[in-house]
Every structure is written in structure tokens, then in C-alpha cells.
A and B are shown apart, each in its own frame.
Chain A
């Protein structure tokens, strides 16, 4: 049934595309849906565009693993719409025609702006495309039973078909349908989570028996560790970042356990693990990896307000009570941490239980070290700054202002978007925490937490949620590819290179560009498999806020802004943001390097790249005042 619902959804999306394909002949129809979309439809489509894989898969996944820290993305993403509404929406609509480059260039007719703004649009779109494609692969893998790369290729092929057929009109209606359904069905899952309530032994409504991880005492005899259960013998030990892991052999199967030492009392706790052997084979929990033998889903409460066992179960709870219980210091949550190390020639990844009190889970600090070093605090500040300023600089969001008839409609559609997106972001808290306490978090990737939570309520909800999540990716990728193809066909080829395209040629060039960008997105989606999609989108926000926002703001509010100032600012923001990301600890880790050796100890570049971009704009504008005045 899951596959049938999924295929029906994809069929609907493709059907819409082909329906609108016959009607789209002009460039304005292709790039801006003719500028005649109703503001309410556009507002929900905004929500559809914005509530991408990062919001639905990434944020829920991060809340499921890092608690409140994941919700910080919800707060930052939503706050960004304030900048879009109060500062950008109406002026962008007044200044532009098809693309964000049009708006920046409306006063100057500068080739420098056309070139740099188009390249910036391409770079930001590609950065934003990566997490969408990663999310697509993650989604399709369990649903259709195909590998990650095949899922990415499938999404790429469908999206290229959508964009290359009908452009912005079909993208708008796909986003409208998907945005509405996403909010409604997420609400359904949240209500189901509250109705199920909280328990220390979640069994997914009786569907999946709760797996109790073993704990046993140990002692030290003549310097040797001896487990209390004589069936186990110690065959290895590893110390990683202050934590001790012990390899035990029992019944011919080796397993890794965490060793705790509390006031001299030694305790061993069972973990899950996977081993990549030197000969290329893989083990999961001591047995060969297979479709059936994968790491178990995790996440549960150890204690609810200090109570354990069956009497701790709450039954159905209200929305405030749910959060109140989870914030209680006496509530203990079993999050899991991932630890990697080498055991001889084997590469071992251990997934170990990590008990966290509720008061720590429900405030910032588990992922973002707000109590850490000044550099860690700066990284957090940098992220929050980029999220706040990034939304109003995203090309695929900005082009949606050209699909409505007037500035007032642009404003109203933004308000509809804020209402829909804000409501959804409140739901992410329940979806993420719901996944964490219902034992449905996949240790290999947290991105599937929300769909797996839906699966714990039955196949139907899982199919619907997966199909919506897939449509989420399709819609967002379509919007991004349209923005990128507009940058190539309209900004670069037609206006910068002055190839003198007619309407038909411009649409054809846009479709070819869409195909090329789609191929790039597919390749990057395969390379970046496994990274949290919300983290990746956070980077896209930083690049957008650094490259685009200073120009947008200054062109609106500073009369001395010059074309050269804008071009220099875009290049500076783009290069500095991308450069910092490339030398950041997260990227080092992704490519197998030591994160501590990263030359720039920040993951989020905004704190440096955004002010730098502003400064360069002001400096270059002041230096080029006379020249441009003379040129005019």
C-alpha cells in the first residue's frame, strides 16, 4: 500500500506538470507563472517551497537526537521571514521581473551585477539542492527498498521532467498541494503521539517489542576487567574521548559495551555497533550485515518524572503536559551517541546509550555548546545570524514574489507563509521528541525520524507521510532548479552575454540549464549521503545571507550604493562563506580528515562573511562614486 500511495502521489505531480506544459509558451509563464498566481495560493506554495527536506526531515531528526537544539533551526528559519516581510517582499516585487538579479540590477543595468548575481544564485541553489537530494535518497531507501544513490537519481530524473516541462506554474501548484498536506498530516501524527502518551518501554502500539539493553556489573581482578556474567569474557578495550568501550565475547559473538565507573563501581552497558572489516565485509552487532540485520531503532525514556517501569506510563497527554514532562529534571531520556574508532584493522562505529535529564534535553546545549569555549559560542551566534538573515536572500524564495500580481499580494502571501510555516515549526518539536521517546530513531541517519515515527502508527500514515516528504523534496528541488535555470538562461545568456533570445529560445535555454543543474544536484546528493540535511541547509543560508542580503538591503536603504559595490559584495560574501565552510571541522570530518586539524574552527561562516560583505559593498561604493556618476 505504501508503494501504491507513493506512486499515486508522484503520478499526480507529473500529471500536473504535463497539464501545465501545454500552456507555458512565454518566458514569464515559465519563470514567473505569468505573475498571476493568487496570493493565498502563493502563500501556501511559499510554505511548500520553504518546508523542504531540511525542515521536515532535518529538523525533526535533529530534535530527535539533540533535543531543543534542533528546534533552534525552527526558530531561526521562521524569524528569517520577518526580514522577508518587513524589508524585502514589496520592494523586490516592485524592482524585479523574473529573477533576483533583475531587482538588484534594476537601477544600474550593469553587466557586473548580472554576472555575479547569477553566479551567486547558482551557488546558493546548488548548496540548497544538496540536502534536498540527500533527503530524497534517505526517504526512498526504506520505502522502495532501493539504494541511496538510486533514490537520488530517481528524484533528479522526476524533477528534471517537472521543470523541463512546465516551469513555475506546475511548481507552484505542486508546492501548494504539498505544503497544505504536509501541515495537515504532520498535525495528525502529532495528535497520535499525544494520544499514545509516554512510556519507558515504547513498543510502537504493540507492533515492535521494546528491546531492553543489558546492563551488568563488573569488577577488576589483578588489573583485569571481569564481567559478573561468566558467559562473557573480555577480548578488547578502547578509550575514546574519555569514554571506555569493552569488547566482550559470548557464544562466539563479539559485542561492544560501554564501561561506566561510578565511585569505583564498574558497570557494563550493551551498545549497538557496526564493524567494517579489512576484507570489505561488514558486521552489525557481531553478525554479518544484511537487510534483516541492521542496527535497531533507538530512543526511549528511562524514567518519567522519576518513575520507572509500567507505572510510569502516562496514557494520553496534552500538548503542554507532553513538553512539561520531558523538561522535568527527573525525566531521563535515552539519547544515543555515535563513537568511531579503529580496532586493529577493523573500523568500528559504536552507538551507545547516553542518558540525558529532561531539563538538559529541553534547553540549548546538547549540539550547540552554548556553555563551551568562546569559539563554540561564536559558532552558535553565527548560525543564528545566518538563519535570521538567510531566508530573505534565497533565490528560490525571492522568485516567488514575481508570481503574484502586485506588491500588496507579495505582502499578503508572505503573511500566509508565516502562519503556515510557524504552525508547522511548532509541530516539529512534537514530531522530533515523539520520535525520540517512541524508539524510532535510526542510528545510521537521523533524517528519517519523522517518517519512521509515522510508521509506528501504521503503514497508511507512513505511506502518506513518506509520499508528502518525497513531494517536499520534489517541490523544493523544482523551485531551486527553476531559480538556477533562470539565472543561466535569463541573467547570464540573455542579459549578460546579450545573445538576444526570443521568448521561445529563452524557455528552451532554461530547460537545458535545468537539466544540467539537475545532473549536478544528483552527483552532489550521492556524495553528501549521511549528513544531517538541516545542517547542510544552514550552510546554504549562510552563503545566501553573505552573498545576496547585503546587496538587497543596501540597494533599498543606501543611495550611494554603486554597481561595482554590489558586484564586489556578492563575490566577497560568496567566496568568504564558501571558503570558511570548505575549511570547517564538519567538512573535514565528512571527508575523513581530523576535524581538529581544520584551519577554521567554525562550522557556520555568517559571523565573518556577512559583515565582510557589507563592508566591501560600502568601501567599493564609496571608492566608485565619481566614476559611476560620470558614466551616467
Chain B
């Protein structure tokens, strides 16, 4: 099973949709990441301010960036999966 020829992919009706939402989500994450870098460069002392649970902004923002990446990834997968299922249903109806 593992040694068949590399899989060939057929046309993907959802490709444009997935690329569009992918780009928007990328830009959203890039903006949040850019703010993190900007604070470090422009206002580094803000990073040692306590934000919650005794944790400073550096820790909260850093952990937050990791958690936000997973959150966006799950939303993206849900949206892609829903659109792919819709496309297949529409193709089946034809």
C-alpha cells in the first residue's frame, strides 16, 4: 500500500475559495505577529508588564501567538472542509 506511485490529484473545485480565505487568514496572523515584533522593538518595557495570572505581556503574547495559530488553523480546516463537501454535493447533483 505504501509503495504505489505518488498520488495524482484531480481538479479541486474549492481551490480558489481555499486560497482566498488562506490569504486573509495569513494576513490576519501576520498582523498580530507584526504587532508583537513592533512592541519588542518600539516599547520593549511593555513586555515586562504584568497582564494576568501574574504573567507578563511577553509570556501572554508569546503563548497567545501559538494558541492563535492553532485556533485559526482549526477554523480554516472547518471552512475548507465545509466548502469541499458542498462542492462535492453540487457535483453529485449535476
Residues on A lying within 8 angstroms of B by beta carbon are 20, 23-26, 28-29, 32-37, 68, 71-72, 74-75, 78-79, 81-83, 85-87, 90-91, 93-94, 97-98, 169, 320-321, 323-325, 327-328, 359-360, 362-365, 370-371, 377, 380-381, 384, 388, 402, 404-408, 411-412, 414-415, 418-419, 422, 425-426, 429, 556-557
Would B2 and A36 count as touching, CB distance under 8 A? Answer: yes
Would B77 and A418 count as touching, CB distance under 8 A? Answer: no
Residues of A within 8 A of B30 (CB): 82, 388
Check A37/B12 contact, CB under 8 A, given A82-B72, A362-B56: no
Partner of A35, one of B7, B25, B55, B84: B7
Partner of A37, one of B2, B18, B37: B2
Could you pull out 25 A-B pairs where Cβ atoms are within 8 angstroms? A26-B3, A29-B3, A75-B62, A78-B65, A85-B22, A86-B23, A90-B12, A94-B9, A94-B12, A94-B15, A169-B3, A320-B55, A324-B55, A359-B48, A363-B57, A364-B40, A364-B58, A370-B40, A371-B44, A384-B37, A406-B9, A407-B15, A411-B77, A418-B69, A557-B23
By DSSP majority rule, is chain A's interface helix, strand, loop, or mixed? helix
Q: Shortest Cβ distance from B17 into chain A, in angstroms?
A: 11
Partner of B3, one of A23, A71, A323: A23
Q: Shortest Cβ distance from A376 into chain B, in angstroms?
A: 10
Residues of A within 8 A of B48 (CB): 327, 359-360, 362-363
Residues on B lying within 8 angstroms of A by beta carbon are 1-7, 9, 12, 15, 18-19, 22-23, 25-26, 29-30, 33, 36-37, 40-41, 44, 47-48, 50, 53-59, 62-63, 65-67, 69-70, 72-74, 76-77, 80-81, 84
Q: Which of B15, B33, B40, B54 has the most CB of A within 10 A?
A: B40
Partner of B40, one of A24, A25, A380: A380
Would A364 and B3 count as touching, CB distance under 8 A? Answer: no
Would A36 and B7 count as touching, CB distance under 8 A? Answer: yes
Q: Shortest Cβ distance from A431 into chain B, in angstroms?
A: 15
Would B26 and A71 count as touching, CB distance under 8 A? Answer: no
Would A35 and B66 count as touching, CB distance under 8 A? Answer: no
Would B6 and A402 count as touching, CB distance under 8 A? Answer: yes
Residues of A within 8 A of B26 (CB): 82-83, 86-87
Would A98 and B77 count as touching, CB distance under 8 A? Answer: no
Would B6 and A82 count as touching, CB distance under 8 A? Answer: no
Residues of B within 8 A of A94 (CB): 9, 12, 15
Q: Which of A72, A411, A412 has the most CB of B within 10 A?
A: A411
Q: Shortest Cβ distance from B39 into chain A, in angstroms?
A: 9
Q: How far is the CA of A32 from the CA of B6 in the complex (A)?
A: 7
Would A98 and B6 count as touching, CB distance under 8 A? Answer: yes
Besides A37-B2, A325-B54, A359-B48, 11 more A-B contacts (Cβ < 8 Å) are A34-B5, A68-B58, A86-B25, A320-B55, A324-B53, A324-B55, A327-B59, A363-B44, A408-B84, A412-B77, A415-B77
Name which residue of chain A comes closest to B64, CB basis. A75
Q: How far is the CA of A200 from the CA of B50 in the complex (A)?
A: 24
Q: How far is the CA of A226 from the CA of B58 in the complex (A)?
A: 44
Would B40 and A324 count as touching, CB distance under 8 A? Answer: no
Q: How far is the CA of A384 from the CA of B38 in the complex (A)?
A: 11
Would A408 and B73 count as touching, CB distance under 8 A? Answer: no
Q: How far is the CA of A37 from the CA of B3 in the complex (A)?
A: 10
Name which residue of chain A comes closest to B57, CB basis. A363
Residues of A within 8 A of B58 (CB): 68, 362-364
Check A362/B70 contact, CB under 8 A, given A91-B19, A381-B37: no
Partner of A324, one of B12, B23, B54: B54
Q: Which of A81, A82, A362, A408 has the most CB of B within 10 A?
A: A82
Check A25/B56 contact, CB under 8 A, given A83-B26, A87-B26, A411-B77: no
Residues of A within 8 A of B59 (CB): 68, 323, 327, 362, 429
Q: How far is the CA of A381 from the CA of B67 in the complex (A)?
A: 22
Q: Shortest Cβ distance from B51 into chain A, in angstroms?
A: 10
Residues of A within 8 A of B18 (CB): 90, 411
Partner of B33, one of A71, A79, A98: A79
Residues of B within 8 A of A402 (CB): 6
Would A75 and B36 count as touching, CB distance under 8 A? Answer: yes
Q: How far is the CA of A425 from the CA of B64 in the complex (A)?
A: 12
Name which residue of chain A comes closest to B74, CB basis. A415
Residues of B within 8 A of A81 (CB): 69, 73
Check A321/B12 contact, CB under 8 A, given A28-B4, A75-B62, A75-B66: no
Would B19 and A79 count as touching, CB distance under 8 A? Answer: no
Residues of A within 8 A of B9 (CB): 93-94, 406-407
Q: How far is the CA of A408 from the CA of B81 in the complex (A)?
A: 8
Q: How far is the CA of A402 from the CA of B72 in the complex (A)?
A: 24
Would A418 and B70 count as touching, CB distance under 8 A? Answer: yes
Q: How far is the CA of A24 from the CA of B3 in the complex (A)?
A: 7
Would B5 and A370 count as touching, CB distance under 8 A? Answer: no
Q: Shortest Cβ distance from B30 into chain A, in angstroms?
A: 8
Q: Shortest Cβ distance from B88 into chain A, in angstroms?
A: 11
Residues of B within 8 A of A320 (CB): 53-55
Check A26/B2 contact, CB under 8 A, given A82-B26, A364-B58: no
